[in-house]
Chains A and B, each alone.
Chain A
Amino acid sequence: MKTPKPTSIPPSQITPPERYFNRREIMTGIAATAAVTIGPTAAGEAARLKHSKNARLSVADPPNSREDITTYNNFYEFGTDKADPARLAGRFRPQPWSVRIGGEAEVTGDFTLEDILKPHALEERIYRLRCVEAWSMVVPWVGLPLAEVLKRFRPTSRAKYVAFKTLLRPEEMPGQRIPVLRWPYVEGLRVDEAMHPLTILAVGLYGEVLPNQNGAPLRLVVPWKYGFKSIKSIVEIRFTERQPPTSWNISAPQEYGFFANVNPAVDHPRWSQARERRIGSGVFAPRVPTLPFNGYAEQVASLYSGMDLRKQF
């Protein structure tokens, strides 16, 4: 599952950006349907997304109920209680949406969500999600490999990291009126992590457009890292030469590292990470052991060979 470095793609294989970002095509082609399906969802009626199922990169664990996935969220932009996002994200308007691409890449600028998604086919990936608070879920995401999107912007050889930023809109995101974290939320990955085939940009779950409380309209999903790395409602993607700052690391550097790989052997300074509670397993189910890299060690452990994961947590 090794992904070629973006710089190793022969120039002949790179489609010119004009072809990707052709507005006329967007207005007529598949994007017309995308624009409809990625639209605002009235009265909780979510639109279906056309997608295929990627069984090879999905786990066999039964997914959590839609109810659990959409009512138990850590999305501090809407409040710090798990029930706050479902309760308070109704006023958030994830449309129209555009993403600013910047930094060490040949193609930069502002692109609408439709521009970003248009050339790609969506697929379902059933992933485990492990929160740093020692609970976990299984989520059937609908999305696309981040690598496919990033390659289109032709990152240069100086692009060693990818930095992400969440929307800052306190009038629609009431949690941002309280300085519990420094807003806007920022996250980052090393470029090889970002290009890994397991790393996806999600636009939906359970085959439908992403609900606001789950990071609409565009979020990152990195299944082998603690949930806080999977930044939501992304408005900026920036290629950088230096490791970008990340929100929880700024908030408590001794507790949350840049990598934040799921690791049962490295405890949070205040609580154990050895076991986790699987949401939905019932009141009488004991905690289950946490797996290294959240069970994705076979695919991703090689990214960190030679690193001391106790120090670079």
Chain B
Amino acid sequence: MARPGRARRLARPLLFVACALPLAWLLARAFGLAGTGLGANPIDELMDRLGEWGLRLLIATLCVTPLATTLRKPWIMGLRRMLGLFAFTYLCVHFLTWLVLDQWFDLEAIGDDLVKRPYITVGFTAFALLVPLAITSTSGWMRRLGPRWHRLHRLVYPAAILGVTHFWWQVKADWREPAVYAVLLAGLLAWRVQRARRRTASTRTAVAMR
């Protein structure tokens, strides 16, 4: 009888805790627990950390399929939804911090920024692309949408590209961190392009052999 390995059984709860930790830590700092704090500029600190973790988790989500495929461990695929929803949670709070605390619902300023500041335009677009993905992440929606679900969820690729761009475009001189994300993302996308090519090639071979 094949019992799932320990790694497999522990992966979910461990990943859940790992994903929730940065948010918990940020909350602890926001409420000044145990002498912590968010520093002199709490709003920027909140936005920066939330955006950073959102982007990291989004990239982690994109690692799931290549990992599961390369390691031939299909159960890894089962972690993708949780990672994706955590990424969305961080980015959602990031967006709300901007809307409420940073802009204080100043609709004129928000409209101005959305139109005139490319980094905000791309950041907002990336977030908007993720909203339908979060909504349709349930098993019910997966069933209802069938093959269209996969097509819809390809929106995660432009969202991730725009997310890295959003980070890159607001850096003043230290591009190291966004550069790391850009390289990782480029690698993950390149793997998918390769896989698509291989699939097309093998389909052609199969057709030719018929």
Contacts and interface: CB of A to CB of B under 8 A. Distances in A.
A277 B39 contact: no
A83 interface: yes
Nearest to B106: A286
A271 B44 contact: no
A71 B117 CA distance: 29
Contacts of A135: 41, 44
Interface string B30-60: 0000000001111110000000000000000
A83 B41 CA distance: 11
B200 interface: no
A272 B173 contact: no
Contacts of A267: 116
Q: What range describes how many residues of B lie at the interface?
A: 20 to 34
Interface string A59-71: 0000010011001
Contacts of A46: none
A279 B41 contact: yes
B41 A80 contact: no
B173 A68 contact: no
Contacts of A68: 40
A42 interface: no
Contact of B43 (A82, A271, A283): A283
Contacts of B117: 270-272
A153 B169 CA distance: 44
A133 interface: yes
B60 to A, nearest CB: 23
Contact of B101 (A64, A279, A283): A283
Interface string B162-174: 0000000110111
A264 to B, nearest CB: 13
Contacts of A270: 117-119, 169-170
A174 B102 CA distance: 32
Nearest to B100: A284
A107 interface: no
Nearest to A79: B174
B113 A272 contact: yes
B172 A133 contact: yes
A71 B39 contact: yes
Contacts of B104: 286-287
A251 interface: yes
Nearest to B40: A72
Interface string A258-295: 00000000010011100101011001101100000000
B173 A251 contact: yes
A76 interface: yes
Contacts of A67: 40
Interface string B105-140: 010010011001111000000000000000000000
A168 interface: no
Nearest to A68: B40
Interface in B55-88: none
A242 to B, nearest CB: 25
A52 to B, nearest CB: 28
Contacts of B102: 287
A181 interface: yes
Of all A-B residue pairs in the complex, the 10 with the closest CB atoms, nearest first, are A72-B40, A80-B174, A68-B40, A286-B104, A180-B173, A180-B174, A279-B40, A283-B42, A251-B173, A279-B41
Interface of B: 39-44, 101-102, 104, 106, 109, 112-113, 116-119, 169-170, 172-174, 176
Interface of A: 64, 67-68, 71-72, 76, 80, 82-83, 133, 135, 178, 180-181, 251-252, 267, 270-272, 275, 277, 279-280, 283-284, 286-287
